[in-house]
């Protein structure tokens, strides 16, 4: 940073130009919107079918973090967007467990020492969710989820210094096409993984309550043979 005050420095950055340059990438934004549509539809279905469930705040958190992601990527805050991606994933994972475990949810709220991470939640589904093993194997759900989580965590924790950074100087912040494309691609990857995880982990009684048009969207690009193998229709 220069000798300018923090407020002056922030005002020196042309945020309008960064956003304007970003939004010229119409084709990339179309891909982001398509992935957003899948996640938004899942949010709507889960919220509607679990009305008054005390675990719903996890879904609201996912919704807010999707907004944060769209804001940060459009303003050239590429590394900052990584945390939003992981929050979205962890929010869906947490909801998948706590929607059926109100006692543990109360403990999570009241006891700071209680915590279930990604691995524990996946292990729970492997042990207790009917047909999760076979569905996740057919869709390669767990492998894809673990790879994504590891890569995004490396960015967040600075394990690969410079990853998703485009400039060192505060006032040099700008739109960067290569970084924008990488982050947008990672978001589309996230949407695919959450979609596969929910297809794999939803119980049959939850699945049958989903809207037919929503299921059609969730199955987009999946072969008929694969749908038969995972026993979803």
pLDDT band at 208 (very low <50, low <70, confident <90, very high): very high
Question: Does residue 8 sit within a domain?
Answer: no
pLDDT band at 233 (very low <50, low <70, confident <90, very high): confident
Question: Does residue 16 sit within a domain?
Answer: no
Evaluate if residue 2 carries a pLDDT over 80.
no
Tokens of 175: 């739109």
Question: Does residue 3 sit within a domain?
Answer: no
Counting the structural domains of the chain, the total is 1
Residue range(s) defining the domain that contains residue 71: 31-229
pLDDT number for residue 168:
78
Q: What is the pLDDT of residues 30-88, one digit of tens each?
A: 999 999 999 999 999 999 999 999 999 999 999 999 999 999 999 999 999 999 999 99
In 3D space, the residue among 128, 66, 55 whose CA is nearest the CA of residue 94 turns out to be 55
Find tokens 């989580």 and name the residue: 149
Question: Does residue 19 sit within a domain?
Answer: no
Question: Does residue 181 sit within a domain?
Answer: yes
Question: Does residue 186 sit within a domain?
Answer: yes
Question: Does residue 129 sit within a domain?
Answer: yes
């Amino acid at each position: 940073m220069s000798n300018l005050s923090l407020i002056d420095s922030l005002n020196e950055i042309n945020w309008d130009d960064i956003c304007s340059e970003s939004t010229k990438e119409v084709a990339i934004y179309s891909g982001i919107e398509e992935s957003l549509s899948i996640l938004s539809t899942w949010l709507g279905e889960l919220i509607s079918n679990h009305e008054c469930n005390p675990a719903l705040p996890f879904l609201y958190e996912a919704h807010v973090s999707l907004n944060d992601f769209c804001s940060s990527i459009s303003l050239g805050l590429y590394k900052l967007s990584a945390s939003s991606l992981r929050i979205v994933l962890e929010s869906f994972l947490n909801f998948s467990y706590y929607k059926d475990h109100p006692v543990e949810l109360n403990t999570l709220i009241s006891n700071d020492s209680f915590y279930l991470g990604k691995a524990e939640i996946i292990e729970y589904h492997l042990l207790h969710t009917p047909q999760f093993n076979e569905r996740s194997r057919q869709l390669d759900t767990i492998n894809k989820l673990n790879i994504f989580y590891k890569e995004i965590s490396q960015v967040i924790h600075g394990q690969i210094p410079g990853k998703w950074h485009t400039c060192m100087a505060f006032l040099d912040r700008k739109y960067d096409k290569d970084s924008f494309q990488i982050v947008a691609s990672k978001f589309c990857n996230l949407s695919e993984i959450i979609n596969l995880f929910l297809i794999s982990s939803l119980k049959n009684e939850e699945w049958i309550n989903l809207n037919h048009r929503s299921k059609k969207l969730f199955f987009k690009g999946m072969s008929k043979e694969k749908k038969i193998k995972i026993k979803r229709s």
